[in-house]
A = this chain, B = another copy of it.
């Protein structure tokens, strides 16, 4: 669960490190994304994070400044990441007693210069319905991904832009969901089973679509650990079984010229970025 940002709780000692605020007149996603990326550059600190989105009125902005100042009074000056676009709201927030970082301002000026046009100055639509067509694609893709999760349906596989294949528990499902939700990619995923490992050939329903297949592998020990959590002491989770499945899966990918990636030490975001990169190449 995300940290609470109930104002009276903020900075009330339940965080062990510097208090960080992500402030936005929209969803706060951009503030969190860049802010957290910046914070990863300072691994030594345990930050207490609070996101306050939809700061759309000057009254609300003043209330947020109060919350930041109370947190400042409780300890060291909070770090404040802001993506507020509205000038009036931004100027109110900037007066808080924290290290205020306007994540947009400087870059907007650079862009105005580069593009030779003034910025709209309206709150970010980046995570709204801005591009209705693209948004509908993303929503359709989520439905498609659920319908085609783990080989549940081979209907309309020809519509798939990507078919993820892998032994059980290599990360097919969350990767498929991420690609659908974030990139609107029509992605199916299909489990590899013993007969596939023995024959080292693509599952029959996928053969017409080999060109759209992408494989995942893992590390035997890692995969075995993950499977142990699901079925302790099972053959399914044994190191021997995992080793056998991964070796044959990889040989199958190679012999069928299916691009693949080892997901063992990668996040879904990293796996997805890698897949997109290979799809686009």
**Residue pair B181, A45 in contact (C-beta under 8 Å):** no
Task: List, in ascending order, chain B residues with CB within 8 A of A270's CB.
Answer: 26-27, 127-128
Per-position 1/0 for A50-74, Cβ under 8 A of B:
0101100000000000000000000
Kindly identify which residue among B114, B127, B142, B277 contacts A79, using a CB–CB cutoff of 8 Å.
B114
Stretch of A96-104, A198-206, A233-241, A250-258 contacting B (4+ beta carbons < 8 Å): A96-104
CB pair A174–B185 under 8 Å, yes or no, is no
Given contacts A33-B33, A34-B30, A99-B114, contact A143 B173 (CB under 8 A): yes
Residues of B within 8 A of A209 (CB): none
**Bound: A45/B100 CA distance, A:** 30
Say which one of A87-95, A117-125, A213-221 lies at the interface with B.
Answer: A117-125
Contacts of A29 in B (CB 8 A): 33, 269, 273
In the complex, are the beta carbons of A181 and B181 less than 8 A apart? yes
Q: Within A14-41, which residues are at the interface with B (CB < 8 Å)?
A: 18, 26-30, 33-34, 36-41
Q: Which residues of B sit under 8 angstroms from A79, Cβ to Cβ?
A: 111, 114-115
Q: Does A126 contact B (CB under 8 A)?
A: yes
Partner of A37, one of B101, B113, B124, B183: B124
Question: Taking A174-B142, A269-B27 as contacts, is the C-beta distance between A125 and B40 under 8 angstroms?
Answer: yes
In contact, A177 and B173 (Cβ under 8 angstroms)? no
* Chain B residues positioned under 8 Å from A276 (CB to CB): 2, 51
Known: A40-B125, A43-B120, A127-B269. A280 touches B115 (CB 8 A): no
Closest B residue to A27 using CB positions? B273
Q: Which chain B positions have C-beta within 8 A of A6?
A: 280-281
Given A128-B267, A130-B40, A45 contacting B115 (CB threshold 8 A): yes
Tell me the nearest residue of chain B to A180, going by C-beta.
B177
Nearest CB on B from A129, distance (A):
5
| Complex A-B: 5 CB contacts under 8 Å | A33-B33, A40-B130, A41-B108, A101-B110, A106-B106
